[in-house]
């Protein structure tokens, strides 16, 4: 397996075809096709389903695409950081976050941090909350905006709470839940609950998702529902319901999505900042976040 094979595979998957990928890579179509076939032969299974002139990723291909993209992003970030350090600069603080719970205040918090030019470089990585927590545990990021339930029992992780809210269900306007003040787990039976993960839910389940499944509620991953943002988009499109917390209410309201309390034996969700290694910049981030969330 080599970089050219992987680059061709990613390009074909993202462009939706070999011809478009060849134009993007400035290669011949036959070269791109040969590289992908070579990769499939080496792996021992197909990455695409060929249907006439159209192609579609297999389940294995979809899984590999996501992780190849993560590896490429990590490689590019490492090269950029090494270049900064080589020039006498400071390595950026690698910050991971999930869209709905933090996008409304994270930028404001970073803007509030007093800093000299170049003293607080940072890089942002946006993923689902369970994935962000896993990246922190595996030292791929330095600090995570996440929920305490995602890190229960994790050794060596420090967590600073910012806000707490109870669990709720988000649904499209006009749904039968709009006439109810609260719903129970029984009310969710037969509904499609969206799981905001781009991989099978058996691999990355949030703590809340684990509790739901333990109580017989089936979670289903919508196509391309890779994070909280797309989960809310899917709700608005009528593809299903999304279980989260009222911390997302302002975000959901802006999208035209409604919420109702979930009356179930689920813990409240506490949003906060988690980290493993001490860094004075994290203290600055926490102070700024408290100012923003407090308002």
143-180 residue pLDDT tens: 998 888 778 778 889 999 988 888 899 999 989 999 99
Question: How far, in Å, CA of 280 to CA of 179, rounded?
Answer: 49
Q: What is the pLDDT of residue 84?
A: 65
Kindly state whether residues 34 and 178 are assigned to the same domain: no
CA 294 to chain CA centroid, Å, is 25
Please give the average per-residue pLDDT across 93-102, as a whole number: 79
Kindly indicate the confidence band of residue 207, based on its pLDDT and cuts at 50, 70 and 90. Answer: low
Kindly state whether residues 176 and 263 are assigned to the same domain: yes
Q: In the numeric block, which tokens belong to residue 125?
A: 């990585």
Residue 283 lies in a domain: yes
Q: What is the pLDDT of residue 255?
A: 86
The length of the chain in residues reads 295
Q: Is residue 247 pLDDT above 60, yes or no? A: yes
Kindly state whether residues 172 and 114 are assigned to the same domain: no
Q: Is residue 141 pLDDT above 80, yes or no? A: yes
Tell me the per-residue pLDDT of 59-94, one tens digit each, with 9 for 90 and over.
Answer: 888 888 888 887 877 777 777 667 666 766 667 888
The CATH number linked to 150 is: 3.40.190
Q: Is residue 192 pLDDT above 90, yes or no? A: no
Please give the average per-residue pLDDT across 42-65, as a whole number: 87
Kindly state whether residues 149 and 290 are assigned to the same domain: yes
Kindly state whether residues 141 and 284 are assigned to the same domain: yes
Residue 72 lies in a domain: no
Residue 193 lies in a domain: yes
Single out the residue in 34, 67, 100 at which a domain terminates. Answer: 67
Q: Is residue 222 pLDDT above 60, yes or no? A: no
Residue 81 lies in a domain: no
Question: How far, in Å, CA of 26 to CA of 47, rounded?
Answer: 22
Residue 25 lies in a domain: yes
Place of tokens 């061709």: 8
Beta bridge partners of 49: 56
Share of the chain above pLDDT 70, in %: 83
Residue 117 lies in a domain: yes
Domains contained in the chain, number: 3
Q: Out of 15-24, 71-80, 278-287, pick the least confident.
A: 71-80
Kindly state whether residues 282 and 137 are assigned to the same domain: yes
Question: How far, in Å, CA of 38 to CA of 48, rounded?
Answer: 13
Domain boundaries, position 223: 167-267
Kindly state whether residues 191 and 114 are assigned to the same domain: no
Q: What is the pLDDT of residue 201?
A: 37
Q: In the numeric block, which tokens belong to residue 134?
A: 């896993």
Residue 83 lies in a domain: no
* Cα separation values, 60 from 66, 82, 115, 166, 234, Å: 10, 33, 45, 36, 23
Q: What is the pLDDT of residue 259?
A: 94
Q: What is the pLDDT of residue 33?
A: 92
Kindly state whether residues 179 and 260 are assigned to the same domain: yes
Kindly indicate the confidence band of residue 116, based on its pLDDT and cuts at 50, 70 and 90. Answer: low
Kindly indicate the confidence band of residue 199, based on its pLDDT and cuts at 50, 70 and 90. Answer: very low
The CATH number linked to 38 is: 1.10.10.10
If one compares 203 and 164, the residue with the highest pLDDT of the two is: 164
Q: What is the pLDDT of residue 160?
A: 93
The CATH number linked to 234 is: 3.40.190.10
Question: How far, in Å, CA of 31 to CA of 4, rounded?
Answer: 10
Please give the average per-residue pLDDT across 107-128, as a whole number: 75
Question: How far, in Å, CA of 117 to CA of 120, rounded?
Answer: 8
pTM of the entire predicted model: 0.63
Mean residue pLDDT of the chain comes to: 81
Kindly state whether residues 113 and 202 are assigned to the same domain: no
| Closest CA relative to residue 47, chosen from 5, 107, 79 | 5
Q: What is the pLDDT of residue 170?
A: 93
Place of tokens 């270049």: 83
If one compares 82 and 225, the residue with the highest pLDDT of the two is: 82
| Three-state DSSP string of the chain | CCHHHHHHHHHHHHHCCHHHHHHHHCCCHHHHHHHHHHHHHHHCCCCEEEECCEEEECHHHHHHHHHHHHHHHHHHHHHHHHHHHHCCCCCCEEEEECHHHHCCCHHHHHHHCCCCCCCCCEEEEECCHHHHHHHHHCCCCCEEEEEHHHHCCCCCCEEEEEEEECEEEEEECCCHHHHCCEECHHHHCCCCEECCCCCCCCCCCCHHHHHHHHCCCCEECCCCCCCHHHHHHHHHCCCCEEEEEHHHHHHHHHHCEEEEEECCCCCCEEEEEEECCCCHHHHHHHHHHHHHHHC
If one compares 3 and 223, the residue with the highest pLDDT of the two is: 3
Kindly state whether residues 98 and 147 are assigned to the same domain: yes
Single out the residue in 12, 33, 67 at which a domain terminates. Answer: 67
Please give the average per-residue pLDDT across 268-277, as a whole number: 89
Question: How far, in Å, CA of 136 to CA of 215, rounded?
Answer: 28
Kindly state whether residues 113 and 257 are assigned to the same domain: no
Single out the residue in 34, 52, 67 at which a domain terminates. Answer: 67
Residue 114 lies in a domain: yes
Kindly state whether residues 10 and 63 are assigned to the same domain: yes
């Amino acid at each position: 397996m080599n970089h050219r094979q992987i680059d061709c595979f990613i390009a074909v998957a993202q462009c939706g075809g070999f011809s478009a990928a060849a134009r993007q890579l400035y290669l011949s179509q036959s070269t791109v096709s040969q590289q992908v076939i070579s990769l499939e032969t080496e792996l021992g299974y197909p990455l695409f389903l060929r249907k006439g002139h159209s192609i579609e990723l297999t389940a294995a291909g979809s899984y590999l695409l996501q992780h190849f993209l993560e590896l490429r992003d990590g490689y590019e970030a490492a090269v950029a950081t090494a270049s900064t350090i080589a020039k006498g600069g400071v390595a950026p603080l690698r910050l991971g976050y999930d869209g709905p719970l933090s996008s409304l205040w994270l930028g404001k918090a970073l803007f509030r941090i007093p800093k000299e030019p170049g003293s607080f470089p940072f890089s942002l990585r946006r993923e689902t909350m369970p994935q962000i927590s896993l990246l922190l545990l595996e030292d791929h990021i330095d600090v995570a905006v996440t929920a305490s339930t995602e890190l229960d029992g994790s050794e060596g992780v420090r967590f600073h709470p910012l806000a707490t809210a109870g669990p709720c269900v988000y649904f499209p306007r006009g749904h039968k839940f709009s006439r109810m003040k609260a719903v129970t787990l029984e009310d969710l039976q037969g509904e499609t609950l969206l799981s905001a993960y781009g991989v099978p839910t058996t691999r990355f389940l949030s703590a809340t998702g684990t509790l739901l499944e333990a109580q017989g509620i089936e979670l289903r991953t919508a196509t391309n529902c890779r994070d909280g943002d797309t989960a809310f988009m899917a709700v608005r499109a009528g593809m299903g319901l999304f279980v989260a917390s009222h911390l997302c209410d302002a975000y959901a309201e802006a999208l035209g999505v409604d919420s109702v309390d979930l009356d179930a034996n689920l813990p409240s969700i506490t949003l906060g900042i988690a980290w493993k290694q001490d860094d004075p910049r994290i203290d600055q981030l926490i102070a700024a976040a408290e100012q923003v969330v407090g308002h």
